[in-house]
Structures are given as C-alpha cells and as structure tokens.
Chains A and B, each alone.
Chain A
C-alpha cells in the first residue's frame, strides 16, 4: 500500500512532482465501463497501474436500515433493487431466509417455480454480462446478439411477473401467482434456443485472437487468494474452487436436478468468461428438468396468518377479509431467533442474516452481497497491470453497484 496515495474521497488529478510519468486520475463514478456508479482512483505510472483505490457508496440507499422499519413482506420489493439484473434471484433469497426463520415448508410446486426464477435470472444476468463485457473490450457485435436474447428473456419475465425489473414475484410461503401452461411453453421455446445461441456467442469470442490477448493471463487470481478475499460465484469457480451454494447447501430442491459446476484453472478473465458461458448451458439443463418434472398441486402454503388469501375469497368472506387486512397493514410476527440463509445468485453467494426479536419487522437484517466481496479483489487484480485491463477486470467480476452499495 502506497503511503503517499490520497485515499480520501477528495482525491483529484495529480502529477507526481518527482516523476512526471506518475499521475493520479479518477475513473468514474459515471464511466461507461464501471457498470453503474463505481469510482476508482488510479495511480498510474505511464500505462501501468501502481495502485487502485475504489470508492463506493454512490448507490447506497440504506436498505438494511429500511428493513428494520418495514414488515417482512414489505421488504421483498427492495430486493428487486439490489441486483437489478437478476431481481428474481434476490426475491427467492429473501423469502427463503424468512421461511427458515418461520420454519415454514413450501409446496414442491413452489420450489420448482423458484428454481425456474433463479435460473432464468442467471441466464438474463449472464446475457447482460457477456454483452457489456465484450463491448467494454471493443467487440460491439456480441452486445447486439446478447441484447436481442436478453430482450426475449425480459419478455418472459414481464409476462410472468408483470414487470421487467421490479418483479417482486415471491411471497413468504409461496409465489405471487402460479405459472400457466402457455407461459411454460414459451419458456421452453426460449431454453430450446439458448444452447445454440451460446454456441454462437462462443464462435465470436472463444477463439478470437483479440479476445484471447485481452483476457488470457490478465487479471489472474489464485484459488487461495480468491478464498481469502471472500470471492464467491463464477469468479471463484474460475480460480478452481468448485464452491456453489446450489451443490454444497441445496435449497428449493436443487439436489434433485442434475447439473455440473464448471470450474477454471487459471483464474484469469478468460476462465471467468468460460465458466459463465458453461453456467448458461447448465442453467438451461436445469430449466429443462424443471419443465419436464413440474409437480402439480398447490403453490402456496395454507396458512392464513402468513400467506394472503385468494382475492376472490377476500371479496366474499369475512374471515379472509380480516386476514388480508392484518397481513397487509400489520404483517406477521416471526419467532425470536436468528438465521443466515444464502443462495447462489448469478454473482455469487447472496446471504441474508436476519435477527428477529419476535416483532413484525426484523430487528436487524444484514445483506451479504456477493458483488461487494468480489469487487474487493479489484485492486489485487489490476495493480501492476495495464490501465486498459482495469476495464476488462471490472467487467469480468460482473459487479452490480446496486448490490455493492445496497
């Protein structure tokens, strides 16, 4: 760590008085390649990065504080705004944590629909990552191809939840509503097309000479360092550690689906790229199994104190009306206790640590964000490298600032 580096937020452009080649520059916070509002202060020696100091918090909305002042159900919409590229996955994560606190089992059909949500979110997130990653490195064609498919994915999400981004599709003890046959058919069309599309993306990049030069051996991290930094998700697996929450600590019945966890060996940008591409194929594989074996039966738990009654019954029956009124205005109480529950979202391990004192809102809700911990490796990855590779490194970590800052 350089003691002469200005680490405050007031750091500004400087030229070293001793050596005119050494300059301190600001990158961001509004920079097209920082994927949101990330600010880096870079100390450069010509084209080499000597030191990199990230400044976060430009998107900090105090979600953990807000959670302490909302009922459990009211917090679900906030999870849409964390990783806004895969809101469905975060929706599932929060309700699983609350259900563990309540010791609530959901029906099989509900779990299967949640798996669809998680994997659909992974496909959508990786499509965006691939497009922008390639765009950051100058390969604009890939961007148009992935965004075409991402639009298709968003059409599916919109038809499922009513919104492209603010999905809020899960409920404690169930889902907003069941999925219908027509939508499942359209999902099957999408996943039938995806493997071919991933092959097409690969044909543009995997053996592309420029892509190889920009990614191979760049931004490498060892397995040990990645673990020490708390890295999770595809970036950790690219470094050779096959830790995947879906395999290690299955939830939503992931243990019933066959899929592989791709790993890399070098831990460089190219390996992260290959791992994510393979994850897309595995997501398709999981989705296909869910569609083939989607269980029938109820989607929601039959607990009127926790799950909202059907609207039709609310309008005709007194008891249901009261339950609806109570859940909406006051929420439900969770038993006193604490749980940490994590899920494998596209970026890595997303954990919710909830401390309850038996009230209707959490006493403390902590969001363990994968992007935050992955981004912490950035100085380690870029220092000593070229300034142009900073952009490649950020893109390969796939951080979403909404999730970093929360």
Chain B
C-alpha cells in the first residue's frame, strides 16, 4: 500500500516539530494536525521546499464536531506534482474560527475558503474577499453545521 503524506508529515516533524499536535494514518493516507498559529509558516515551507514541493492545494473543507471543545476542523489536501504525494493537514478552531488564510500561498485557497466560510461560518483571517459563494448574500445560516436540520417544517 502506498504511504501517502508520509513525506510531508516527516518534513514537518523535522522542520517544525512544535507545530504538530497529532498525526495519524488510515488506508495508507497520513494526516497531521497542526497548531493554527504555525499553519502559514509550515505551509510556506511545504510549498517552497524542493524536497516536498506541495504546489497544488487540492481542496479546503471542514468537518464539524459539535461536542468537542474546538468544534471546527479545517481540512486541507495538498498535492505535490513533483513527488506525486498527497498530504492531509488539519487545523482545529472555535465555532467561528478564525484560521489564518492560505490564499497568500495558493490562490486556490480563495474560493475554497470562501466555500468553507459559506457552509460552516469559519472565518479565515486575512482572506482578501471573504463572502458567501454558493448561498445568497443575505442568507444567515451555515448549512453544513451539524445543528442545521435537513428538513424544516
């Protein structure tokens, strides 16, 4: 089985060991949970270092765990075209964030963070244009939160 993401997790372990809060693996896919404060620094390194070269931010999304003290888990999927490696990074935050934006490193963070904000209400600090993207501007709810009901009526 391939060991996806091991390259990146080991790189973070070597260069930013203090940033790692936890790490794990399922089905050969490694993930790492980072401290929100060091997210931008670590990602700058993962993007710029030729040993990792995660040039593609494939996806940004979130998972809502309402019973946890930090209920929002923002999940980033990075891909290195050169190394053919995929890495999953997670960052925990409070109900409305904030999480630092990665749009300064990958431009694809722009729309994907907007969608995460739109669906979960997580604010991304420093985002150039944090507006709703799928729901109407005057919408007040965040549909992918667990307390949002599937049916109303």
Contacts and interface: CB of A to CB of B under 8 A. Distances in A.
A60 B63 contact: no
B89 to A, nearest CB: 12
A65 B148 contact: yes
B27 A103 contact: yes
Interface string B37-72: 000000000000000000111110101100000000
B95 interface: no
A208 interface: no
A228 B63 contact: no
A353 B77 CA distance: 9
B108 A229 contact: yes
B137 A10 contact: yes
Nearest to B106: A228
Contact of B134 (A60, A349, A351): A60
B133 A230 contact: no
A305 interface: no
A100 interface: yes
B108 A65 contact: no
A406 to B, nearest CB: 8
A355 interface: yes
Given A57-B134, A65-B143, A340-B88, A230 B63 contact: no
A138 B12 CA distance: 53
A230 B57 contact: yes
A77 B15 CA distance: 45
B144 A373 contact: no
Nearest to B131: A7
Given A65-B143, A65-B150, A230-B58, A57 B133 contact: yes
B29 interface: yes
Interface in B62-105: 63-64, 75, 77, 81, 84, 86, 88
A64 B58 contact: no
- A10, A69, A368, most chain B CB atoms within 10 A: A368
A338 B26 contact: yes
A241 B29 CA distance: 24
Contacts of A338: 26, 29, 31, 88
Contacts of A241: 81
B61 A366 contact: yes
Contacts of B27: 100-101, 103, 337, 339
Interface residues of B, number: 39
Contacts of B107: 225, 228-230, 376
Given A349-B58, A353-B59, A227 B137 contact: no
Interface in A228-265: 228-230, 232, 241, 243, 248-249
Contact of A351 (B26, B58, B108, B111): B58
Interface in A83-118: 100-101, 103
B86 to A, nearest CB: 7
A270 B144 CA distance: 40
A27 B119 CA distance: 26
Contacts of A364: 63-64
A248 B86 CA distance: 11
Contacts of B143: 62, 65
Contacts of A65: 143-144, 148, 150
Nearest to A228: B107
Contact of B84 (A101, A249, A353): A249
Given A65-B150, A351-B77, A363-B63, 19 more contacts: A56-B133, A56-B134, A64-B144, A225-B107, A228-B55, A230-B56, A243-B56, A249-B84, A338-B26, A338-B29, A340-B29, A340-B77, A340-B88, A353-B59, A353-B75, A364-B64, A366-B61, A368-B59, A405-B134
23 contacts: A1-B128, A1-B129, A7-B129, A56-B134, A57-B133, A57-B134, A57-B135, A103-B27, A227-B81, A228-B107, A230-B108, A249-B84, A338-B31, A353-B61, A353-B77, A363-B63, A368-B58, A368-B77, A372-B111, A372-B115, A373-B112, A376-B107, A405-B134
Interface pairs A-B: 8 shortest CB-CB: A230-B108, A57-B134, A337-B26, A368-B59, A376-B111, A366-B61, A60-B134, A228-B107
